[in-house]
Chain A
């Protein structure tokens, strides 16, 4: 989508409001055209001495009134604009997040979350800032063209001469402003490096003391400080350079007027009133030209910003990202109504030729076949990096994969949106919790799950941890609340999955959450309680011993499958894994 088309789509969000702002700002930016003429009249009349000088009162009073009154327009225009900008800012961010979390299809966020957030923040702001230029544009053009015409009416030749420094201003700004932004970003990242280092240093202060490493750590801080100092200077240098150039262009333009006009003033062809008009217009005109130069640079930047937004949601249609449905900023927040997907109970899950390749060429998954019967317990095992996690993630549609998955013999079109509760639930190897109450984290908004909360907590052996938390299930966790240990996070995630009462449970390695005893207990309780179908990634004996079938992976392929006993008999790999698992018990 071209940048212009993009702007058009953004403007169409609320065309009425946008037009109103455009009108207001055209008045605001255009009115100095009138101010120049009025001031020119004042000084033209004053310079003719009395009695003509007395008629200067009229334009002077009119100027004062207009100059003050103009602020009312600024106020009105900007108030509406704030609303417009922020609504759209919220909406664009909502659209992007909604696509990532809710849209069908497999999705891998190509950036680290921290970096992705900067797209949510900076790139969306860049787009809106660019759109803001279009509100100012009308007034800028009105003033620019008007001022040049008025000046040309006074002295066409002189005005032609003045266009040179004015255009230079625009060109120089256009070429320097991307560099200034770059340096400002460099400054920001140098600052982040310093603050990040200070933060890390003091969160690891014990390790530093214990290693007597204070000296080198300070040397490092010194190094980072210097880098930041340099970045700050480089930023200041360029900013000041540009500012100086632009101011100097204005100085040069005015000096040109003074020098060229001197003889025509002497001849009486150029009046003091005319001079005043030039003196009022020229500084403002240079500022506007610099602004226009900046807009041209921003045009490119907006294109890049949108590219980055697209990069985060590669498969999203443009209109989805620019969706104009309003965010409910007032009134009741609509309750989540989960669509009641009348599901067909699982009888048999079949996987045919499941393959996945990592974009960086890392070993993926090749042609995995698998049949899981209702009520069975399947363990996927293998060495580290053999593709165990990739297998379950591909099966659930969390990463894009080739091959077919069949639920009771019916092919699943979009595993990503199909494999959700109550059909299936999943616990990742490194599960994530959110800054909400523990109860909300476990129930994840499902009303039915709320009732099963206690039970799930017990099943996941999370109850001893709960006793230690003052507010129990209502404890806020995460950045602003209690920090849970790694084990507690995994147990909570297990509870979260169990609370869904899904037909198919997929566990990716619970071993760091639960000790052997608790794990055995979990399997016992879970399996005795109801009929569940489990796919478990594990290398622990507690799981292997319980398996109806074991799937042995090596380098992304299934090298063997069957009952544990048979595998132990015929597979060297299985024996070595089993022996290693023994070390653990």
Chain B
């Protein structure tokens, strides 16, 4: 990370807040000026006291001290507040821009990253940047200016005093800069080990019934011992290292006080300074404590922010390979056509020269072994990926020419895993979009959750990952989402796990309603599901091995579908996902 790129980053994110940054700078300068002045006022007072001069002069100094002290506090507090404000404004914008950019990236990217990493990038690195802005700008620069001020005033006062303070400042900064690194590595370890400790506890509390009913309490507590030891050892190591840093810094600071006092005595006895100035030296040495501490501490933050800026930059340079077209699809059911389509994920070939045509409003059941390519076919229709060869078209338009947003709105997908957010039922259905309540309720009615929602209300909070909902209810909510979306094509990836009979019944009814008047593709794990499909397609090893009208295939004893029907559930139906 070079200085120019720091500057570039700073100016990019601070430009919109230019006015406030200027105010901030003024506040800081004012505060620094006052901090330098206050000890000088005291010096004047003390010298007046030593001389036993007129009371009025001392009173003036006292009043000046009071005003300067209070004003300084106000300026300082104002600067901190404004710095925080600017930092958050700037970085929240960055968080949003970055998220928007990441949404646009391909699934290949998302499949290779964990949500935890994304949190680290979008929040962790950006927060480091915020610290960088609010601290670096506010604290580091201010600390530097204050230090410079102290040194300049000291030199003006007396070269001996000036050189003493200068040497002291340099020595302490050098010492502390060395020390800081000691604590950092340990602090990281400490964070990790405490995450492990609380992770252990959380997991066991979630499984408390399992542990108790299986009499595994004693065993679990034994397993807890190494976790506690690890926590104890590493945390105490980290704390001891931090203690070394703290005590060393503290020793240096108090040694500074001693040094200041001795210098003051020496110079006063020699008659080269006044008693007031001797006190000034002590005050100035104490004044540089906090800027020195800040400088060494912020330098660390700077390192962290530097890493963050680099990582954020790299992310922003990534681009999606899927370019949106500009054709908008109309409403109503659409034809789906695959024309000599081949596709491979990174290295693994999945579809090999697949061609088929599904007329508008027809339904197609996809059967075949797990990993055979069923899911990939549906992913190509949603244009999560582009085919390597051949074309996919909807309603006669090549997917590449369709505007991505229009395409996604026209294709409704119910996946096996229903992604639910920790939010209200309504927000979960609308993805936080603002839709009228009655539309949402109507969608829930359509999937048979009418009574359920009247009981709970649209504002009921759902747990993360749909906690507290049965698998069946989650599926039904996913259906309701598609109802709200009202697409011309529906893709259903049937859940492989089994639901209780009552829910199965609800689902069957909801499915029927959902399919009416749309083009439908179903990835089925059970023959039951495709009993009403118009057409059946059996996919194996990336090729279509059978495709025809369901009745025809069922009637043909040679067909794979017929033999599946005969065996009830054949080996072709995998019940797990890849």
Contact = CB atoms under 8 A, between A and B. Distances in A.
Interface in A67-109: 67-68, 70-71, 74-75, 78-79, 82-83, 86-87, 90, 93-94, 97-98, 100-102, 107, 109
Given A262-B55, A275-B49, 4 more contacts: A67-B254, A198-B119, A203-B115, A426-B210
Given A240-B77, A539-B500, A97 B201 contact: yes
B382 interface: yes
Contact of B212 (A107, A220, A329): A107
A258 B56 CA distance: 12
A109 B199 contact: no
Interface string B208-242: 11111111111111111110110111011001100
Given A211-B481, A251-B70, A265-B58, A206 B50 contact: no
Interface in B251-277: 251, 254-255, 257-259, 261-262, 264-265, 268-269, 271, 275
A216 B430 contact: yes
B228 A327 contact: yes
Contacts of B254: 67-68, 70-71
A371 interface: no
A212 B213 contact: no
Interface in B422-437: 422, 427, 430-434
B201 A117 contact: yes
A189 B102 CA distance: 25
Contacts of B569: 515, 517
B247 A75 contact: yes
B211 to A, nearest CB: 6
Contact of B62 (A222, A258, A583): A258
Contacts of B243: 75, 78-79, 82
A584 B498 contact: yes
B222 A53 contact: no
B151 to A, nearest CB: 22
Contacts of B210: 426, 428, 431-432, 493, 496
B21 to A, nearest CB: 17
A532 to B, nearest CB: 16
B113 interface: yes
Interface string B553-566: 00000000000000
A67 B236 CA distance: 27
Contact of A60 (B202, B206, B262, B415): B262
A478 B502 contact: no
A263 B575 contact: no
Interface of B: 42, 45-46, 49-50, 52-55, 58-59, 61-63, 65-66, 69-70, 73-74, 76-77, 80-81, 84-85, 88-89, 92, 95-96, 99-100, 102-104, 107, 110, 113, 115-116, 118-119, 122-123, 194, 197-226, 228-229, 231-233, 235-236, 239-240, 243, 246-247, 250-251, 254-255, 257-259, 261-262, 264-265, 268-269, 271, 275, 278-279, 282, 382, 384, 404-405, 408-409, 411, 413, 415, 418-419, 421-422, 427, 430-434, 463-464, 471, 481, 485, 496-505, 528, 569, 575-577
Contacts of A248: 69-70, 73
B38 to A, nearest CB: 9
Most chain B beta carbons < 10 A, residue from A61, A114, A198, A445: A198
A471 interface: no
Contacts of A83: 236
A226 interface: yes
Nearest to A259: B62
Contacts of B58: 258, 262, 265-266
Contact of B118 (A198, A279, A517): A198
Contacts of B236: 82-83, 86
A74 B107 CA distance: 56
Nearest to A579: B501
Interface in A4-43: 39, 42-43
Contacts of A206: 107, 110, 384, 415, 419
B24 to A, nearest CB: 13
Interface in A445-494: 445-446, 478-479, 485-487, 493
Contact of B265 (A60, A221, A266, A272): A60
Contacts of A479: 199, 203
A112 B465 CA distance: 14
A285 interface: no
Interface stretch (A129-137, A292-300, A416-424, A523-531): A416-424
A266 B53 CA distance: 7
Contacts of B405: 212
A205 B110 contact: yes
A113 B55 CA distance: 68
Contacts of A583: 501, 504-505, 528
A57 B76 CA distance: 37
A221 B119 CA distance: 13
B498 A515 contact: yes
A412 B123 CA distance: 54
A228 B87 CA distance: 12
Contacts of B225: 327-328, 333
A496 B215 CA distance: 12
A368 interface: no
B232 A268 contact: no
A113 B463 CA distance: 13
Given A67-B257, A213-B431, A432-B207, A243 B464 contact: no
Contacts of B575: 487, 515
A53 B65 contact: no
A215 B435 CA distance: 14
Contact of B100 (A218, A237, A251, A420): A218
A94 B221 contact: yes
Contacts of A512: 471, 497-499
A147 interface: no
Interface string A392-435: 01001010000000000000000010011100111010011111
A241 interface: yes
Contacts of A384: 500, 502-503
B96 A225 contact: yes
A56 B239 contact: no
Contact of A210 (B84, B247, B382, B463): B382
Contacts of B218: 102, 336, 338, 445
B296 to A, nearest CB: 18
Contact of A107 (B80, B208, B223): B208
B223 A436 contact: yes
Given A74-B247, A259-B63, A117 B198 contact: yes
Contacts of A215: 433
A203 B418 CA distance: 11
Nearest to B210: A432
A560 interface: no
26 contacts: A39-B282, A47-B50, A61-B262, A67-B258, A68-B251, A86-B239, A120-B201, A198-B123, A205-B102, A207-B418, A208-B103, A215-B433, A216-B432, A222-B96, A226-B92, A229-B89, A252-B66, A255-B66, A258-B45, A258-B65, A261-B49, A268-B52, A327-B225, A421-B214, A444-B214, A584-B501
B81 to A, nearest CB: 6
Contacts of A155: none
A279 B42 CA distance: 10
Contacts of A211: 408, 413, 431, 481, 485
Given A86-B235, A262-B58, A512-B471, A233 B84 contact: yes
A262 B575 CA distance: 91
Contact of A101 (B206, B208, B504): B208
A259 B59 CA distance: 5
Contact of B96 (A46, A218, A416): A218
